[in-house]
Amino acid sequence: MTWTWFHRLGSPPHVYRLATRLTPWFGWPAGLLIVAALYGGLVLAPPDYQQGDGFRIVYVHAPCAWMSLMIYTTMAVASAVGLIWRMKVAFAVAASCAPIGASFTAATLMTGMLFGRPMWGTYWEWDPLLTFELLLLFLYLGYLGLRSSFDDPQRADRASAVLAVVGVVNVPIIHFSVIWWNSLHQAPTVMRLGKPTMALPMLIPLLMMFLGFTLYFLAVLLVRLRGEILRRERSAGWVREALAS
């Protein structure tokens, strides 16, 4: 039964129809959660006792950072599935992840720089976390550039998949960098063993934003995946039937 379900996920028509059905179920809750989290974080949450209102950028910065790592991991896993089982849909998922992940990574770096100027006195410091996050952006851009450098889609899939799988080693380095090295960044307050150290009025909107951004990613991924499948299967008969309906 499990393998039947797995093989159905390798069928482009099945995945296309499934993505069409699921997109609204992720998109609408994502929008509601993000709006509620912004109101809770920017209006209801009290100022931080040390950082004042400047801490509120964490409601965008931290979820973007989380998404940059989660999306790259998703891209690497999909790439590995494509390489091992030669599933075209898995390669399509990886290709759909890359531009979304690059956008979240760029947003992470930009919001981090905006936070760093008033808190650290500089927009940029070669802090381990910042440096490896910048490397993550280069990995995303390298993946996109490598894909576009091949005329043969199959060669593009394989070459970019290898880069994605090799580059995933950077993900745990980013996550644990504040623990392994002397860093400007504070130690984890939410993604840590044990209880989070943030007060509940601050923590609840942040957790809502994490969930909202995750659902937003899934909704956008499904939209991009549908387009990627149509591009790859444009000569198939089921595509003409789907577009006609």
Domain ranges in the chain are 56-197
Q: Is 110 exposed, middle or buried (0-12, 13-18, 19+ CB in 10 A)?
A: middle
Are 74 and 222 in contact, with CB atoms under 8 Å apart?
no
pLDDT recorded at residue 197: 65
Token pair recorded at residue 208 = 């809502």
Residue 182 Rama label (left phi>0; alpha psi -120 to 50; beta): beta
CA distances for 26 relative to 93, 217, 225, angstroms = 17, 9, 14
Are 227 and 23 in contact, with CB atoms under 8 Å apart?
no
First-last CA distance in the chain: 31
pLDDT recorded at residue 216: 98
Q: What is the pLDDT along the chain (245 residues), one digit of tens a residue?
A: 556 666 678 889 999 999 999 999 999 999 999 999 999 999 999 888 777 777 899 999 999 999 999 999 999 999 999 999 999 999 999 999 999 999 999 999 999 888 888 777 788 888 888 899 999 999 999 999 999 999 999 999 999 999 999 999 999 999 888 777 766 666 566 555 455 667 888 889 999 999 999 999 999 999 999 999 999 998 888 887 777 76
Are 245 and 59 in contact, with CB atoms under 8 Å apart?
no
pLDDT recorded at residue 35: 97
pLDDT recorded at residue 208: 96
